[in-house]
Structure 1
Amino acid sequence: MNTDTIKYDLDGDGIAMLTIDLPNQSMNVINAELQRDMTALIEKISTDDQIKGAVITSGKASGFMAGADLKGMNFGDADGAAKDSGKSKMGVLFDGVFALNKMLRDLETCGKPVAAAVNGLALGGGLEVVLACHYRVCADNPKIGLGLPEVMVGLMPGAGGTQRLPRLMGVQPALMYLVQGNNMKPQEALGFGVIQELAPADEIVDRAKAWVKANPNGGVQPWDQKKFKFPGGPATPLNPGFGQTFVGGTAMAISKTHGNINGPHAILSAVYEGAQVPMDTAIRIESKYFAKLVADPQAGNMIRSLFVSKQAAEKGARRPEGIEPMPTKKIGMLGAGMMGAGIALVSARAGIEVVLLDTSQESAEKGKAYTEQKLGKRMDKEKLRPILDRITPTTDYADLEGCDFIIEAVFEDRDIKAEVTKKTEAVVGADTIFGSNTSTLPITGLAKAWSKPEKFIGVHFFSPVEKMPLVEIIVGEKTGPEAIAKALDYVQQIKKTPIVVNDSRGFYTSRCFGTYVQEGTAMLGEGITPALIENGGKHMGMPVGPLAVSDEVSIELGYKVMQQTKKDMGDAYKEGPSDTVVEKMMAEGRVGRKGGKGYYDYGDAGKQLWPGLEEAFGAHDRPEQPQVEAVQERLKYRQLVECARCYEEGVLETPQDGDLGAIFGWGFMPYTGGPFSHMDTLGIDHVVRVLDRLAQEHGERFSPPKLLRDMAEKGESFYSRPEAQQAA
């Protein structure tokens, strides 16, 4: 009884072999076809007397199963189905999400022993299939990951994971994995009782079959037996340890998410309630909370941006068509400072030869040493040596000969950049693709120093390079498709997430991220308490407050960028309310963290707000402080309006790039799915009304662009626009 997704075979001992192998997929995922086929085979196992038990494994070398097909996740038109069936919308959603839960419950109650032979990673729904089996054998490979990471995309396990994992390993340790979305290694899973046996990969099926054959009555889960007890103690409020686990777990979740993300709360609730009832009731409780998550726009927004759009970008969604692959073999890295050293690290780690050039041999060697310093902490010398050998520190431009890609990361000074650009072209020739890591200077202007501007492109990394996942590719007025393809292929080689934007001052990420800092400093200048500004930013879901960010990036750098912008724009420059704050901080000699003092002090006592900050900007003299919601509204909407302007001006061509760039570039509230998803969820008409009010109260920087007004009038959303649909 072979199906489209599962190969079926019955051996002489009556053991059914179910090998999951989805066609045209590099990795197994749970989709509608697999669910249909598995449901039919579970029925066959349950009713066919010839079948004494079953083993489930994967036919993919890539692993067991990666979970649900999030891109294809679709519960249909719940509103329409509700009208047809007479049920509520939530009732229809519940039925849709409960189907998978019921299928796995049918598997574990089929009355016959079922073993899983896990040949590779099993994540999300893939691990839930494994947990529903009565015996679990895993390949003994420390690279295999077993986990339930649904919380990372705004969801929760929805096929029994919140109920079976605590019953196997205990409530407290299970919550650590469920709420944080972490994976466990096979040896770890064995210790917790999540799997029962480790074996060489080529023996796992035979070991699983041997268990089924030796345990004809093994088709009953521990939790379906009368004497079952949770590891770690009874799962009831009368057990003090049980109650304390949820008090502590809730506090930890709130401290990490500030209550902004729905998934952790739903997981805690499902585990708490489900642990106190039989399994058949417990899985219905889980599905109830899963349906609530699905009904909320948050999960859909997070899935689209953090999973679907991210994967599409990494697979080359914005790569020009018709150009053969252009992998980078040897890169010339101009500048061995923190950015250049970081780019050298990720390049060499990806197998690319690196010529690391700086003005002195000492600086170049220091740049190479950065790789040894960072990777040496977690990599043995034998693995580190070939990476270091790929980096050649030098001061001689002649060593750049043979490089097929150049990236410069020298000072943010147009004249210095032009000088190194011309010296490089004299060695490698104008046909070589040249990338600038500038964070603010327009690419079109910088490209004038390269005689073939079609070969010039912006490649904007974020610091620290080895940790930050995003690379912003900036297309100048004359940048050609080969340069775009080359840059995207390189980003794929170093395993980063790219977005593609068009040229402008500050491009997209620096420009919009800057508004968060500027609005925070503007409020400081108005006498708003620094702690209120900082905590408002963090509690709304930004990684840190705007003043702390400014210190990290450097107040001095912001000041220099401001001076360069004034010089470039002349009379067209409009002074903002944050400018005077930055100038005063520079006059005080408070340049940021690198100087040991900025908005914060960095001393033996650790990082703390400068005690003189309130007095310096009049917080003591302000008669009344705003509510934190008002502070957060300004910080959020100042970013939203600038993102919308970038879209209107054509800096951004798709909302997908805008959302990815915001989340992975400057940490814009990930639970929203990004600024464009968030504006769609709020409603564009609502966004315009709030911006109009803020513009009246605080100035024209909040004034909504014509694009938003037109969209509000037409009832449009960003993701309903044709360019968004084509990019999906």
Structure 2
Amino acid sequence: MTNSAFTLEKRDDGVAVLTMDVPGETMNTLKQAFGDEITAMLDEIEQDNSIKGVVLQSGKKGSFVAGADISMLAACTTAEDAEALSKGGQDVFNRIENMAKTFVAAIHGPALGGGLELALACHYRVCTDADITQLGLPEVQLGLLPGSGGTQRLPRLIGIQQAMKMMLTGSPARAKQAKKYGIVDDMVPESILFDVAVEFAKKSKPNRSKPKLSLVNRLLEETAFGRNTLFKQARKQTIAKTKGNYPAPERIIDCIETGMSDGMRDGLRVEARHFGELVMTPESKQLRGIFFATTDMKKEQGVEGVAPAKVKKVGVLGGGLMGGGIAYVTATKAKVPARIKDIRSEGIANAIRYSYDILNKRVKRKIMLKSKMQQQLALLTGATDYSGFGSADMVIEAVFEDLALKQQMVADVEANCKETTIFASNTSSIPITQIAEKAARPENVIGLHYFSPVDKMPLAEVIAHEKTSDETISTTVEFAKRQGKTPVVVKDGAGFYVNRILAPYMNEAACVLLAGEPIDHIDKSLVKFGFPVGPVKLLDEVGIDVGTKIIPFLVEQFGDRFVAPSAFDKVLDDDRKGKKNGRGFYSYEGKKPGKEVDESLYELLGITPQKSMSGDTIAERTVFMMLNEAARCLDEGVIRNARDGDIGAIFGIGFPPFLGGPFNYMDTLGLQHVVSRLKHYSETVDTKFAPADILVKMAESGETFY
């Protein structure tokens, strides 16, 4: 077939090789349009008596099947349309499973979503031991569930609990884990993957009656009482985590329970129905939107048409938590040598220890080999002076938030490095214009703001000042991507984008606290709204001294609307810095450190705590301050577009993903409603709630951000 995604090669030994290679794509994805092609191939295999077994492999280097093509869901106008898609996938995979011939999936690289469901329909699975090989069902991250039999086949293969954990978190299993769980029958080097798969294809179909489980797990999973307990507990834990904001996890549990109690046919029927319903939910629509936005951002350059320079060696100034995290993602993700400078040798040791601790955990959990860890650690070196910095292409500064110190760092790098070396500052509050003020080569100076902890937080803000060169911007964006980050280019100014929209939210939470609302009531209200932690708890986690350091810069540039309540001064004067010194808004003593409010704080602030506002009111007051500031940032060109603003808020401060980010959320609410509520609070609470001009204009003309 010309331009076909599938080719069939018949060998003399009775084994046929079915290769999937979608034309014009870097990775294989399953599309509805392939239905007739697959049917024709399966007809041919079924009718040819010389074929005894089939090896299913990918024609793509480094990838098996990355999943179903999500863009086809946009064409579904009803739940029934989406349900039909699910049933179509189920029918094809059922046919493979019920074939008389033995099917073997030869997996190298990612086998995710529909890719793993395809492999699960095969009778055997063999995978490579490569780092890039991972098997998972990540549909929950898009507000969906595995819709082509995954909710039925995986629990039958590896047990209910492990399968449910994989589906509810969306986390993939690496090759070693996949072998340990029983997802694959063998794990081999890539060089012999095909040969081993061929040998499996010559075997009879396996008789898999039940997964291998411990006695305790058998009692839980193989008895009606045990299963009832298991699913009841799973639902309880799921609701505690999702606060009811995400419908997909509960539907996944429904599908598994139906299939295990009433049989696979009923399980598949419920799976298809729930899949169809989830596709039409606003939560899935927003989560899919985030997926497409981040995919697009990965393809974009910092400055259109300006190619990045290659970064082959990086210097890191400062061996603290941020410096250690930056060195870690440089060595392990970007695979580039990182030279750490600190004024103390202990600082260097701590920064290297940061990487050692993370990697050693992975070795202990058998996710990576010790030799691989040693290779990555070998990319980290350090010095108390600038020796070894002469060849650095980029130096990333992560020292204290002190303007004079940062300006000195610029001068040092200009004196000790190449003329082309980029100086990237990880400042969270000081405008880059000020840091570059005394630079001899200001075109090389840029902001590269990471979020803590660096190894986990996906966002990086790239901040150009007026004199930053286009090549410096493109190079920094490209390198942040290599470090595994989603970079958002923002305009220079106090707080940049993420901290600028976070500050009014935090300030308003403090105002609500001073009005007498209990701390835990405030935090629970925002967690219920969808944030991972509440604003008061977040301040404790970040450090009260660090969290409030940005305020003077914001007040200096934007005026009184950023003035923080004086309560912060009282808290800091009482030597309360939060979790790091064990003294904050929460108590860090006793059996539950950080879980309970430090009641002595109310006395310090002269407050008698009493609930008088509803959780919805608290959430609205704090979140609307953030929305208003986000709109101003767009109006002033701090962010390039609403999409970047949404991704920045979701990845940088945990804005609820199911709401799609501040701009999507405002569109959903309606800008007239947003303006009306801001005016209400402006008249009844404080004039700082006055709606941004852009919101008023857009509301009047009936515009939306998207």
- 2:518 corresponds in structure 1 to 529
Q: Structure 1's 325 and 587: CA in aligned 2 closer, same or farther, altered over 3 A?
A: closer
CA contact (8 A) 2:413 2:423 kept: no
- 8 A Cα contact 1:94 1:291, kept in partner: yes
1:666 to partner: Cα distance: 1.4
Distance across 1 between alignment mates of 2:188 and 2:581: 55
1:645 paired residue number: 632
Runs of 5+ unmatched residues, structure 2:
211-216, 364-368
Letter in 2 for 1:10: K
Equivalent position of 2:11 in the other structure = 11
Is 1:156 aligned with 2:140?
no
Q: Which amino acid aligns with 1:587?
A: D
Q: Post-superposition shift, 1:383?
A: 4.8
* Alignment check: 8 A CA contact 1:45 1:110 kept: no
Moved more, 133-142 or 405-414: 133-142
Matched residue of 1:448: which SS? coil
Counterparts of 1:425 and 1:661, CA distance in 2? 31
Partners of 1:178 and 1:58 in 2: how far apart?
24
1:530 and 1:613 in contact (8 A); partners too: no
Q: CA 1:222–1:12 in structure 2 vs 1: closer, same or farther (change >3 Å)?
A: farther
Counterpart AA for 2:641: T
Q: Which residue of 1 aligns with 2:230?
A: 245
Match of residue 668 from structure 1: 655
CA offsets 1:473-524 (integer angstroms, 9 cap, x no match) = 0121222211101211221332222111111210001111223322221111
Q: Deviations over 1:202-247 (max 9, x none)?
A: 55555555555553xx599979xxxxxxx947989x8111211110
Contact between 1:16 and 1:55, CA under 8 Å: does it hold in 2? yes
Shift of the 639–110 alpha-carbon distance from structure 1 to 2, 3 Å rule, reads same
- Unpaired segments of 5 or more residues in structure 1? 79-88, 224-230, 720-728
Q: Which of residues 125, 128, 131 in structure 2 aligns to 1:136? A: 125
User: In 2, Cα distance between the equivalents of 1:525 and 1:508?
Assistant: 27
Deviation at 1:3, TM superposition (A): 6.0
Distance 1:637 1:199 in 2: 54
- When residues 190 and 602 of structure 1 are mapped into structure 2, their CA distance, relative to the original with a 3 A threshold, is closer
Once residues 132 and 478 of structure 2 are traced to their aligned partners in structure 1, the CA distance between those partners, rounded to angstroms, is 26
Distance (whole Å) between structure 1 residues aligned to residue 542 and residue 80 of structure 2: 50
Where has structure 1 moved over 6 Å in runs of 4 or more? 219-223, 233-236
Aligned 1:560-709 pairs, distance under 5 A:
560-566=549-555, 568-569=556-557, 573-574=559-560, 578-605=564-591, 606-607=593-594, 608-617=596-605, 619-620=607-608, 622=610, 624-709=611-696
Q: 1:145·1:186 contact (CA, 8 Å) conserved in 2?
A: yes
Aligned counterparts of 1:219 and 1:361: Cα–Cα separation in 2 = 59
1:302-313 matched pairs, under 5 angstroms: 302-305=287-290, 307-313=291-297
Contact 1:342 1:466 in 2 (8 A): yes
Q: Partners of 1:511 and 1:680 in 2: how far apart?
A: 21
2:481 matches 1:492:
yes
1:187 is displaced (CA, Å) by 5.3
Residue 259 of structure 2 aligns with which residue?
A: 274
Contact 2:129 2:175 in 1 (8 A): yes
Q: Which residue pairs with 2:75 in the alignment?
A: 76
**2:37 alignment partner AA:** D
Q: In 1, Cα distance between the equivalents of 2:347 and 2:50?
A: 74
Q: State the Cα distance separating 1:437 from its structure 2 match.
A: 1.3
- Does 287-296 or 160-169 show the bigger shift? 160-169
Q: 1:347 aligns with which of 326, 330, 355?
A: 330
Taking the aligned partners of 1:648 and 1:158, their CA distance within structure 2 comes to: 42
Aligned to 1:602, what secondary structure does the other structure show?
Answer: coil
1:254-307, Cα deviation, whole Å (9 max, x unpaired): 2222221121011112222233444344322111111111101211221221x3
1:9–1:17 CA contact under 8 A, matched in 2: yes
Equivalent in 182, 186, 191 of residue 171 of structure 2: 182
Scaled by the length of structure 1, the TM-score of the pair is 0.87
Secondary structure, in 3 states, of the residue corresponding to 1:543?
coil
2:127/2:133 contact within 8 Å kept: no
Match of 1:329 among 309, 312, 318: 312
Q: Deviations over 1:339-363 (max 9, x none)?
A: 2233233324444343433344554
Q: 2: CA distance between counterparts of 1:118 and 1:359?
A: 48
Contact 1:443 1:458 in 2 (8 A): yes
Amino acid aligned to 2:269 = R
Native 8 Å contact 1:233 1:239 kept in 2: no
Q: Is the 8 A contact 1:108 1:221 kept in 2?
A: no
Question: Is the contact made by 2:79 and 2:279 (CA closer than 8 Å) also made in structure 1?
Answer: no
Matches of residues 87-126 of structure 1 in structure 2 within 5 Å? 89-110=78-99, 112-126=101-115
CA distance 1:373–1:280, shift in 2 (3 Å): closer
- 1:57 aligned partner: 57
The answer to whether the 8 A contact 2:551-2:562 is kept is no
Q: Distance in 1 between matches of 2:568 and 2:542?
A: 13
Counterpart-to-counterpart distance in 1, 2:51 and 2:388: 69
Partner of 1:82: none
Letter in 2 for 1:314: K
Asked if the contact 1:140/1:199 (under 8 Å) is kept, the reply is: yes
**Aligned partners of 1:11, 1:448: CA distance in 2, in Å?**
70
Contact 2:459 2:648 in 1 (8 A): yes
Question: Which residue is equivalent to 2:411?
Answer: 422
How big is each residue's C-alpha offset from its partner over 1:649-671, in whole Å with a ceiling of 9 and x where there is no partner?
A: 11011222212211221111122
Q: Could you tell me which amino acid in structure 1 is paired with residue 601 of structure 2?
A: L
Sequence identity (%):
36
| Structure 1: distance between partners of 2:189 and 2:75 | 43
Distance 1:206 1:387 in 2: 31
CA distance in 2, matches of 1:253, 1:295: 21
SS of the aligned residue for 1:136 comes to strand
Q: What amino acid is aligned across from residue 590 of structure 1 in structure 2?
A: R
Deviation at 1:331, TM superposition (A): 2.6
Q: In 2 relative to 1, CA 683–101 (structure 1 residues): closer, same or farther, beyond 3 Å?
A: farther
Between 244-253 and 695-704, report the one with greater CA deviation. Answer: 695-704
Q: Which range moves more in the overlay, 271-280 or 436-445?
A: 271-280
Q: 1:688, 1:704 within 8 Å by CA — same for their partners in 2? A: yes
Alpha-carbon distance between aligned partners in 1 of 2:161 and 2:375, rounded to the nearest angstrom: 42
| Distance across 2 between alignment mates of 1:527 and 1:414 | 37
Q: Normalised by the size of structure 2, how large is the TM-score? A: 0.89
Structure 1 residues 357, 204: CA separation in 2 closer, same or farther (over 3 Å shift)? closer
Give the drift of 1:15: 4.5
The 3 A distance-change label for structure 1 pair 265 and 697 is farther
Is the Cα contact below 8 Å between 2:331 and 2:380 reproduced in 1?
yes
Report the 3-state secondary structure (helix = DSSP H, G, I; strand = E; otherwise coil) of the residue aligned with 1:457: strand
SS at match of 2:457: coil
- Kept in 1: contact 2:107–2:126 (CA 8 A): yes
Answer whether contact 1:438 1:459 (CA < 8 A) is retained.
yes
Work out whether 1:262 is the aligned partner of 2:262.
Answer: no
Letter in 1 for 2:114: G
Residue 324 of structure 1 deviates from its aligned partner by 3.7
Distance 1:542 1:232 in 2: 37
Aligned CA-pair RMSD: 3.1
Name the SS of the counterpart of 2:588 in structure 1.
strand
Q: 1:490 to 1:118 in 2, by over 3 A?
A: closer
Per the TM alignment, residue 646 of structure 1 is displaced from its structure 2 partner at its CA by 1.1
